[in-house]
Amino acid sequence: MDYIYQVRLTTHISSAIGSLTHALLQNARCYSVSHLSVQERIEQKRKAALTGGGQLRIAAQHKRGKLTARERLELLLDPDSFVEYDMFVEHRCSDFGMEADHNKYPGDSVVTGQGRINGRLVYVFSQDFTVFGGSLSGAHAQKICKIMDQAMMVGAPVIGLNDSGGARIQEGVESLAGYADIFLRNVMASGVVPQISLIMGPCAGGAVYSPALTDFTFMVKDTSYLFITGPDVVKSVTNEDVTQEELGGAKTHTTVSGVAHRAFENDIDALLNLRNFFNFLPLSNKDPAPVTECHDPRDRLVPGLDTIVPFESTKAYDMLDIVHGIVDEREFFEIMPNYAKNIVVGFARMNGRTVGIVGNQPKVASGCLDINSSVKGARFVRFCDAFNIPIITFVDVPGFLPGTAQEYGGIIRHGAKLLYAFAEATVPKITVITRKAYGGAYDVMSSKHLRGDVNYAWPSAEVAVMGAKGAVQIIFRGKENQAEAEAEYVEKFANPFPAAVRGFVDDIIQPSTTRKRICRDLEVLASKKQTNPWKKHANIPL
Amino acid sequence: MAAYRSAAGFQRVLHAVKHVCFSKQRCGVIICRYSTVYDPTEKTFDKILIANRGEIACRVIKTCKKMGIKTVAVHSDVDSSAVHVKMADEAVCVGPAPTNKSYLNMDAIMNAIKQTGAQAVHPGYGFLSENKQFAKRLAAEGVSFIGPDTHAIQAMGDKIESKLIAKAAKVNTIPGFDGVVKDAEEAVKIAGEIGYPVMIKASAGGGGKGMRIAWNDEETREGFRFSSQEAASSFGDDRLLIEKFIDNPRHIEIQVLADKHGNALWLNERECSIQRRNQKVVEEAPSTFLDPDTRRAMGEQAVSLAKAVKYSSAGTVEFLVDSKKNFYFLEMNTRLQVEHPITECITGLDLVQQMIRIAMGYKLQHKQSDIPINGWAIESRVYAEDPYKSFGLPSIGRLSQYQEPLDLRNVRVDSGIEEGSDISIYYDPMISKLVTYGKTREEALKKMEEALDNYVIRGVTHNIPLLREIIVHPRFVSGDISTKFLPEVYPDGFKGHMLTAGERRELLATAAALYVAAQLRSQKFLGDLRVSVVPAESRQWELCVELDKGVHMLGVSRSGNNYTVEIDGEKVEVSGEWNLASALLPLTINGKHRTLQCLLRTAAGEITLQYLGTSFKLRVLSKLAASLSKHMPEKVPEDTSSILRSPMPGSVVAVSVKPGDNVAEGQEICVIEAMKMQNSMTAAKAAKVKSVHCKAGDTVGEGDLLVELE
């Protein structure tokens, strides 16, 4: 290994076929005269691979405000940790003049391998836009499949840096087959190792389905696009005038479509944030949620929480204030912060251990559940469950959003996804009802009935079928003294007792002690074991 | 609380400051620089209602508790979980948030008094404290008003009347003449009587408009010509005002205390010259400017004024003092002042307790000779406001983190808020009064630096940067101040602390060390280490740190918690605990103790540090990331000349344009009101109005889009 390490230092690269190189180099040493040409060719190929599409194209890439595939990997991975695979792979297309030597690039249009992020193993691929616009050839796909296969065997996450013009048209069905090979592996790896896509340039056509199958899709603002068909085709088919940015830019996908989970300012910002994000994730479904060194006292009281819920139950507050107050060092990596803002999801740590946070956001649409927020929440809960990340749920939900738009849109089947996700999850589940927990939405939000492990209510909690006004109109229809009846209802139901006397909440706690309680519970629940009945796979209402 | 209660029979002796009172609070010992010398045998009120909110309500309740008096808080609905409500024994809601419907709502407050059976009302300051109507209604109901009698409130409340009374009581007033001046020679004669310099202006002109200063006869003649012309042409009113001009005036006030038996005392002065828009920012007691003779002369005049209006309770006589120590009566405030704590610090008296005793009808306990000046006290008014906008425009928000520097000795913080409190648009944006005390002024100022550095306020913009700069400014430190201090020292507005080369290095080094500490920690995983290796730590970190567009290459090496940072050939040693969860960053930088605060630290290397009061935005990148940064696209900043955003939260009073209108540069577009201040928003360029996003009556947040121009 020492020898390889030196090779890496001198050439700034190392190869997965290290042993072969090793042998070749040794041979070169022993029989330097006879094998000089091979040695030279190795060096030449390596050099060519390192420059990708050549200096001109690199300059063009930089001019677009984008880094090269290799620069990106250098920033993403720990220094000197990248181990490259398949540097000598070339495309095999022999049509349209592609067979010419000047159309062959060692490594083709993608850089693949493994490396470390803060010392932890990760498999990576980085598409090289300077080589045929990063288009996907059979060889390109094969390289990606190789590292994905190994990632699954070893049990380590896969990060893809996407920057590709699409299919290698010259290769025809070979390229399409390549996409499908990757899709299959995305699906096989789903729930086995975390998969993250960072879109750093164009990603169009069939190519979009790989990021869509991965767990998280991040984008770079202004320089990345994701769409099935570009503006020209859109114009010819639907006669809509739309720019690339409007159709599939970072803003569109993080606010309107919900395709992407976060967007970052530029390549550097995105890669540094990705390193930070990676620290939240376990390596695989066999590994526990990671625990990092924590300076925030586990028994810290949060006095501000005692006054955060306003007295008027119609008044909004910011659920993020609660989340920031409770988690370690106020650090919260929010997922989809600008989409379906009536639910808040993201990663944080409690006493150093990664947790998934789900919270209704009273500030937006009263924190109600609608189609988009249900789907957003459900996908997040399922990720946490798949990767052993405990889920902490903060509940302040007035119910599901009524209306034709929602009903016609299928709120019933979409709402069922969140219900399903919480119900099937077997990771530690801790729930805090901060205020309203009304109707079916109460059941959905990680209630005791869906196997919540520890369910707390704050003194401001109201667990009921609906708000006082609506309830009184039904119970006392046509009767006088509605106001009196309403007061009676409030007295009876607008408090945590009806749930607490039945054991549906385990305790009514002082808000300022919430962090302390959750940290303690998580320690106890770390050894939780729960399994669902055997099944081929479950049938979530998609 | 036992420390406040002295043995019975001891109370006649002034409990001076040398005896310190300890009160165990949270993590340390704090010292309150006043003594509530409480005599349990002296009968007092059973229950007092405090017709106020915030810190002053809390302040009054504290003394009531020590005196064994039950307290009633009143509050608006948004204040229902405010600190003063929690502190009081009882609380009554007196209406919705706007002050005229709650804290100024006399009917509701009278009802609260009846409902709770309070025997007396302490009005605090502001709100109903100087409202004679309120005092009358209380008297009619037989409830004691803890303050002066109605006639004193009325007499001192009227500017003209108070001046006449003061004159009669032989109190120095600003000499002047207001009327028709025949000719230039008469003007010279009048000026001669007043004494130079004089100020000449048209009586009808408001404020300082058309004001001319004359230092001799010639200038007086000239001033007369201009002003009389202007008076005639601009105002159609010939009257002129010729008044003594007070150059570089200081605002110095005398605290008085008077009982209902004709006794009155002066409790020394407070120097309140540091002001912005006539609001005090930093106060101190005593003043560096007064000698004992002047102090006594001012004190005696203040007492004679108090006696002239049969004043009882605590009151304040405000004076303007010129550079030659001539002092002139300005007005009398018939209430407890905001800045009363500094007087308590140097005299050891509890002013609230004294007010309560006086209201009960007791005679003053002290003689003038009992009143000491012990040490020095400084008060900084900590406001939720942005000091970079005209020395302070209000800011609102939720105090997401809040920690008062109470574990420091000789620090007193009077506040009515806590972590989680909301600073709303309805009330005064004051967060607290931070008071430090020392044997000498120097000691008190040093303590103030430390206290400001250790004060954690997150969630709202605050004026600590400005306060921290004022107290170390050479002019302030030398005592060379006047009411014009801020505009003179910062003619182009306050811009934050200007770093010296050495300070800049300290700041860069701290950011770099913090970055490395955070990076190293992010590699520390506990527990299962499957397929994980701890990367070998590099011996030397090469970092690139950006600060205000300046880029610096730094070399960082570490040994335990000690970091050596090399910047441009100079070495900076930084060491500390590096607790990344703590709001405070206590460090030793090149052997000096410094407390910084980390306001922001992101994954992308952004670090915002509060250093010497001012927050500085830095960015720390590895050498590699820094070298690649040049390829990153420049983000085009929003063109701010064609959009108008609200500079602060508030309500829209008026919108003067509609879409399609052509506006000239500087033309008023709309008016925003926040905390009693109206701000005219003007067009940054001549253009056509594209769209209007607000209407009169709207509530807007800081940065909200108001109007777009084409």
Interface confidence (ipTM) of the complex = 0.90
Chain position carrying tokens 């203040």: B302
A531 pLDDT tier (thresholds 50, 70, 90): very high
Q: Using only C-alpha atoms, what is the Rg of chain A?
A: 27
Percentage with pLDDT > 90 across chain B: 64
CA A406, chain centre distance (Å)? 26
For residue A294, with 0-12 CB atoms within 10 Å meaning exposed, 13-18 middle and 19 or more buried, which class applies? buried
Judge whether B533 is closer than 8 Å to chain A, CB to CB.
yes
Residue A221 has pLDDT above 90, yes or no: yes
pLDDT of residue A440: 93
Q: How far apart are CA A43 and CA B636, in angstroms?
A: 43
Task: Report CA-CA distances (Å) from A343 to A384, B275, B496, B659.
Answer: 16, 46, 39, 37
Q: How far apart are CA B246 and CA B196, in angstroms?
A: 9
Residue B47 has pLDDT above 90, yes or no: yes
Q: What tens digit of pLDDT does each residue of A341-379 get?
A: 999 999 999 999 999 999 999 998 899 999 999 999 999
How many beta-carbon pairs under 8 angstroms link A with B?
Answer: 129
Who contacts A426 (Cβ-Cβ below 8 Å, separation ≥6)?
A: A385, A451, A528, A530, A531, A532
CA B100, chain centre distance (Å)? 23
Chain B residues whose beta carbon lies within 8 Å of the beta carbon of residue A265: 604, 635
Q: Which two tokens stand for residue B318?
A: 């405000």
C-beta separation of B56 from B336 below 8 A: yes
Does A441 participate in catalysis according to the annotation?
Answer: yes
pLDDT of residue B24: 33
pLDDT of residue B529: 66
CA dihedral A417, A421, A422, A428 (to 10 degrees): -170
pLDDT of residue B2: 38
Catalytic residues of B: 335
H or E element at residue B386: strand B385-386
Amino acid symbol at A312: E
Q: A295 vs B581: CB contact, 8 Å cut-off?
A: yes
C-beta separation of B347 from B374 below 8 A: yes
pLDDT of residue B333: 94
Among A113, A178, A205, A367, which one carries the catalytic annotation?
A205
pLDDT of residue B684: 79
Q: What tens digit of pLDDT does each residue of B551-602 get?
A: 999 999 999 999 999 998 999 999 999 999 999 999 999 999 999 999 999 9
Residue A22 has pLDDT above 80, yes or no: no
Chain position carrying tokens 């199958």: A213
Q: A121 vs B531: CB contact, 8 Å cut-off?
A: yes
Task: Report CA-CA distances (Å) from B19 to B25, B63, B64, B347, B368.
Answer: 19, 18, 21, 12, 20
- Look at residues B146, B142, B100 and name the one whose alpha carbon lies nearest to residue B121: B146
The better pLDDT of the pair B646, B607 is held by: B607
Residue B231 has pLDDT above 60, yes or no: yes
Does A205 participate in catalysis according to the annotation?
Answer: yes
Phi, psi of B237 (to 5 degrees): -140, 115
Residues 46-105 of B with CB under 8 A from A: 77, 80-81
What is the average per-residue pLDDT within B207-211?
A: 61
Q: Using only C-alpha atoms, what is the Rg of chain B?
A: 29
pLDDT of residue B420: 93
Task: Report CA-CA distances (Å) from A62 to A149, A162, B499, B586.
Answer: 32, 16, 35, 42
Residue B230 has pLDDT above 80, yes or no: no
Q: Among B533, B624, B632, whose Cβ lies nearest the Cβ of A119?
A: B533
B676 pLDDT tier (thresholds 50, 70, 90): low
Residue A445 has pLDDT above 90, yes or no: yes
pLDDT of residue B48: 97
Chain position carrying tokens 């007369």: B224
Q: What tens digit of pLDDT does each residue of A158-205 get?
A: 999 999 999 998 998 999 999 999 999 999 999 999 999 999 999 998
Q: What tens digit of pLDDT does each residue of B177-191 get?
A: 877 888 888 889 989
Chain A residues whose beta carbon lies within 8 Å of the beta carbon of residue B605: 272
Tell me which of A62, A281, A292 to substitute to probe the interface with B (most B C-beta atoms closer than 10 Å). A292
B528 pLDDT tier (thresholds 50, 70, 90): low
H or E element at residue B453: helix B441-453
Residue B344 has pLDDT above 80, yes or no: yes
State which residue of chain B sits closest to A266, comparing Cα positions: B632
Residue B444 has pLDDT above 60, yes or no: yes
Chain B residues whose beta carbon lies within 8 Å of the beta carbon of residue A155: 530-531
DSSP for A63-116 reads HTT---HHHHHHHHSPTT--EEE-TT------STTTTSGGG--TTTTEEEEEEE
Q: A116 vs B533: CB contact, 8 Å cut-off?
A: yes
Residue B35 has pLDDT above 90, yes or no: no
Residue A32 has pLDDT above 80, yes or no: no
- B333 forms beta bridges with B316
Q: Which two tokens stand for residue B621?
A: 């990148």
Q: B532 vs A120: CB contact, 8 Å cut-off?
A: yes
What is the average per-residue pLDDT within B255-282?
A: 94
Q: Which two tokens stand for residue A302?
A: 């949060």
Per-residue buried b or exposed e for B253-290, using 16+ beta carbons within 10 Å of the residue's own CB: bbbbbbbbeebbbbbbbbbbbbbbeeebbbbbbbbebb
DSSP for B199-214 reads EEEETTS-TTTT-EEE
The better pLDDT of the pair B407, B34 is held by: B407
Task: Report CA-CA distances (Å) from A373 to A334, A376, B645, B666.
Answer: 14, 5, 31, 46
What is the average per-residue pLDDT within B201-229?
A: 79
Percentage with pLDDT > 90 across chain A: 80
DSSP for B575-619 reads EE---TT-SEEEEEETTEEEEEEEEEE-TTSEEEEEETTEEEEEE
- Look at residues B685, B637, B696 and name the one whose alpha carbon lies nearest to residue B662: B685
pLDDT of residue A336: 98
**Of A45-59, A83-97, A472-486, minimum mean pLDDT range:** A472-486
- Look at residues B98, B157, B95, B102 and name the one whose alpha carbon lies nearest to residue B131: B157
pLDDT of residue B209: 59
Half-sphere exposure of B162 (CA within 13 A, CB side): 22
Q: How far apart are CA B519 and CA B603, in angstroms?
A: 10
DSSP state of B380: E
Chain B residues whose beta carbon lies within 8 Å of the beta carbon of residue A294: 581
Q: What tens digit of pLDDT does each residue of B6-15 get?
A: 333 333 333 3
**Of A299-308, B167-176, B439-448, B644-653, minimum mean pLDDT range:** B644-653
- Look at residues B194, B175, B201 and name the one whose alpha carbon lies nearest to residue B320: B175
Residue A271 has pLDDT above 70, yes or no: yes
Per-residue buried b or exposed e for B198-215, using 16+ beta carbons within 10 Å of the residue's own CB: bbbbbbbbeeeebbbebe
pLDDT of residue B270: 97
pLDDT of residue A488: 84
Q: What tens digit of pLDDT does each residue of B118-176 get?
A: 999 999 999 999 998 999 999 999 999 999 999 999 999 887 788 889 999 999 998 88
Judge whether B625 is closer than 8 Å to chain A, CB to CB.
yes
Q: How far apart are CA A518 and CA A328, in angstroms?
A: 12
Q: What tens digit of pLDDT does each residue of B79-110 get?
A: 999 999 999 999 999 999 999 999 999 999 99
Chain A residues whose beta carbon lies within 8 Å of the beta carbon of residue B632: 65, 266-268
Tell me which of A293, A512, A514 to substitute to probe the interface with B (most B C-beta atoms closer than 10 Å). A293
Chain B residues whose beta carbon lies within 8 Å of the beta carbon of residue A120: 525, 531-532
Who contacts B143 (Cβ-Cβ below 8 Å, separation ≥6)?
A: B113, B118, B119, B120, B121
pLDDT of residue B527: 75
B56 pLDDT tier (thresholds 50, 70, 90): very high
B354 pLDDT tier (thresholds 50, 70, 90): very high
State which residue of chain A sits closest to B583, comparing Cα positions: A329
Residue B39 has pLDDT above 90, yes or no: no
Q: B535 vs A119: CB contact, 8 Å cut-off?
A: yes
Helices (H) and strands (E) in chain A, counts: 21, 18
Residue B280 has pLDDT above 80, yes or no: yes
Q: How far apart are CA A459 and CA A340, in angstroms?
A: 28
State which residue of chain A sits closest to B417, comparing Cα positions: A304
pLDDT of residue B653: 84
B521 pLDDT tier (thresholds 50, 70, 90): very high
